[in-house]
Chains A and B, each alone.
Chain A
Amino acid sequence: MGIPMADTVVMTAPRVRPRLGRDEWLMGGGLLALALYLAVTLLVPLVIMLAKSVQDREGAFVGLSNFAHYFTNPALSGAIGNSLWVSVLATLIVIALAFGYAYALTRGCIPFKGFFRLVAMAPLLAPSLLSAIALIYLFGNQGALKDWLFGESIYGPIGIVMGSVFWTFPHALIILITALSTADARLYEASESLGASRWRTFTTVTLPGARYGLISATFVVFTLVITDFGVPKVIGGQFNMLATDIYKQVVGQQNFQMGAVVSLVLLLPAVVAFFVERWAQTRQSSAVSSRAVPYRPKPRSARDLVLLGLVSVVAAMILGILGMAAFASLAKLWPYNLSLTLSHYDFSAADGGSWASYGNSIRLALYTAFFGSMIVFAGAYLVEKARVAQPLRTATHLLALIPMAVPGMVLGLAYIFFFNAPGNPLNFLYGSMAILVLATIAHFYTVSHLTALTALKQLDPEFESVSASLKTPFYRTLWRVTTPMCLPAILDIAIYFFINAMTTVSAVVFLYSPNTTLASVAVLNMDDAGDTAPAAAMAMLIVLTAGAVRLLHTALSHWLHRRTQGWRRGG
């Protein structure tokens, strides 16, 4: 046998220990800093929260007795069933509507596609609370369309499902449009030439082609609904959901341990959904070959008429809800005096909100967009391009994926446990604007990280090799080549952070202080105090701000594209 011989030779030769140059030290250091940052703002708080769930109020270890108490108390554990069935129902409705809508936009020949797409994206600009408030105006005790519910109350599961469908719709739509627009025309030609009926083509070509998109969208929406706090808080009435239970336990009863238990219960479906979604995502992206011929829809009047009807109805509902919220913020005294006024936008009389909250929200959004996109891009760069510390790169990447599986409420509670702990040197952050920024960056880290990674992966992987061979430090190439080439993606990340920081409620609701009240939380508190019209006004302010920033982003992207079309292929 020759193999042992070869082994002996290798055993005697010493293993090469690569020496590290300045680049390698800097990259390794950067990776370590990033891993530490993610550990402090994400992992450690979550672990501490896990620990709290098996402690009593004094911090003594009590095993699973908190869990036992939770599961034997129907008033508490009943929320599991409630959360599940409401989320499943809302998800089914959203997926059905969004699939039809996406199908119409990608495979139908209908007019005004741009307009319909724009309308469908509008809910992204609003806090989830807005839909609930508008629904109360439409179907509440004094609602304009109260009779449409045949005596059922909007306060409860009906309202939660309707509100959730509104604000999660664009999330599903984006995924399904992507899934449906990557069709290979050759498959349709083959199916047609083999004499398959349209229905058969739909079930054997269209649906299978979009199946990973459907799975992905389903789990994204399910997670959004089950972890959402705004809609059930405003319109849920006495109907218990997991996310609102965490709030009740923590803010209402100061029972942090039980809050941790409910958090863990809520974490479970979110984690499962996360893994299914990641799996579906990777399958979807590998399903399209580069040789596919893009599919061009041909007009078919009967189908197109049905599709146009569907999109019109859905778009009308979206506009109706937004319009209702806008009108509610302007009507003098609903429903008795419907003359228009701007007085609700003067929040001085309202309980729980002010223009200062709005200013705080703007500051939070700006800080989050600025620091968030910098940290995320630098982090994604190191994970993707650093030539050193492979295990650290993998670990950092995995850390960056965690936030997607962590509901905002859970993150917020974990922050209380961690930053409010007496011995923590970071305790000074508690109650500051900084902790809100940290929480918001952490909360929305994953999507931003993946966006940055995608952009970086499109660059030639040998830029760094060439740069090293030319003795140019990596940071110079990062600054002069990588960053300029990724600028559109960086802008996307910044805008994503900005809008989410404006609209989010869940993580920050535990973390704001009297000095750092936020617009989105103000909507919640004013609504809670019965100042519904000012709440609607504040929600509209958020929508208008987010919309304006989105417009600015479009203009900026356009300008950037024109400025750089000299070197962009096919510019």
Chain B
Amino acid sequence: MTTPYLRIRNLTKRFGDFTALDDVSIDIHQGEFVCFLGPSGCGKTTLLRAISGLDIQTHGTVEQDGRDISALPPAQRDFGIVFQSYALFQNLTVARNIAYGLENRKQPKAAIRQRVQELLELIGLPDSGNKYPSQLSGGQQQRVALARALAVSPGLLLLDEPLSALDAKVRVYLRDEIKALQRRLGITTIMITHDQEEAISMADRIVVMRAGKIEQVGTPLEIYHQPASLFVAEFIGAMNLLPALLVQQGEIQLGQARLACKVNGFAPGTAVQAAVRPEDVVCTGRTNGHANSFHAEVQDLEFMGPFFWLSLGGGELGEHRLRAQLPSQQARELNLHPRDSTHFHIPAEHIRLFPDGYPHG
């Protein structure tokens, strides 16, 4: 494996008695798009500000492209940054904003003008150079901020919740645009977000953080399908968590139902939390033709457009409540109604077990 572009080792940041970042280490490779994901206060912003030098860590090292930058002020590092608030200079035109970092490098005026025009075209605003930021929409302003950061061709692009201030539609559109731009330029990028959907759709790898520590690092698929902890399982996507009992290796008891599953490291007789994604609960109809299935009553049906939310209970589930996602087309075929009793199947590989109780207290 090649040496990482960004090597972060044992980063700790303390504010008085509060530890915002607790012994964090990660490697980020050249050209990668990495998302730091977590709830507010998890330390993702602190980590980004340590990487940029805006708030230098208390302990630990940061190496970028083989250079130790741990203690350098931001001006001596190599990065471009985009903030949630855009932080565009309101009194300068769009073109002057984009040229801001170039003007300091004693380049000829014509070269600067040409580079600015290139960038304006890159962000799809070729005619907006003479406008002021306040004359643009939020999404356009954020694209200008991106162009300003990219103008000086930094080795590392830092995005601090760049989409959080935008409308839902603009957000989805800009999400794809940023991702495409990043691929095209091949620039190593770190984005902070608390929006798991954003992280899953954009990142090559996701770093899930909680309480100043890294909970899991992995591709979106790994994070989604193989959550390393109950926290990740709950934080990413929708998840059913059901108290169950491991009756023997490879089998749990859930209410009266016995279900096969993959087990690692639990002794038989242990109380566990079984995690099942709603879309992995498959409705097999009124007759039981599947292994690993149980019957339960549909207590509620909620139409969501492309799918229904089903609330299941009773039958073999007993007191347990399970939410399932059923494609609308299938629901039509089955002609499901509330109070219907029917059979459900959960593939063994989609049942994950976690220790009872929240991880790490």
Contact = CB atoms under 8 A, between A and B. Distances in A.
Given A19-B72, A485-B90, A564-B91, A470 B104 contact: yes
A567 B132 contact: yes
A468 B74 contact: yes
Interface in A455-482: 460, 462-463, 465-473, 476-477, 480-481
A1 interface: no
Contacts of A22: 75
B134 interface: yes
B104 A472 contact: yes
Interface stretch (A7-15, A82-90, A309-317): A7-15
A6 interface: yes
A534 B104 CA distance: 59
A81 interface: no
Contacts of B57: 16
Given A6-B23, A17-B71, A484-B91, A476 B76 contact: no
A10 B12 contact: yes
Interface of B is mostly: loop
A571 B71 CA distance: 43
Interface string A15-41: 111111111100000000000000000
A569 interface: yes
B22 A6 contact: yes
A485 B83 contact: no
Contact of A19 (B54, B73, B89, B152): B73
Contact of A23 (B75, B87, B149): B75
Nearest to B158: A469
B117 interface: no
A568 interface: yes
A16 B83 contact: no
B165 to A, nearest CB: 12
Contact of A567 (B74, B75, B134): B134
A469 B12 contact: no
B10 A18 contact: no
Contacts of B52: 465, 469
Contacts of A9: 10, 23
A476 B92 CA distance: 13
Interface in B45-62: 52-54, 56-61
B185 to A, nearest CB: 17
Given A15-B58, A18-B56, A460-B85, A469 B91 contact: no
A77 B172 CA distance: 75
A200 interface: no
Contacts of B149: 466, 469-470
A387 interface: yes
B71 A19 contact: yes
Contacts of A566: 132
A571 B90 CA distance: 12
Interface string B1-34: 0000000001010000000001100000000000
B81 interface: yes
B54 A463 contact: no
Interface string B289-318: 000000000000000000000000000000
A182 B61 CA distance: 49
A174 B89 CA distance: 32
A444 to B, nearest CB: 28
Given A462-B85, A470-B152, A473-B104, 4 more contacts: A24-B73, A468-B53, A469-B79, A567-B132
28 contacts: A9-B10, A16-B59, A16-B60, A16-B61, A16-B70, A18-B53, A19-B72, A460-B85, A460-B87, A462-B83, A462-B85, A465-B52, A465-B74, A465-B83, A465-B87, A466-B81, A468-B53, A469-B77, A469-B79, A469-B80, A470-B148, A471-B75, A472-B101, A480-B92, A481-B89, A481-B92, A564-B91, A567-B92
Interface of B: 10, 12, 22-23, 52-54, 56-61, 70-77, 79-81, 83, 85-87, 89-92, 100-101, 104-105, 132-134, 148-149, 151-152, 154
Interface of A: 6, 9-10, 13-24, 387, 460, 462-463, 465-473, 476-477, 480-481, 484-485, 564, 566-569, 571
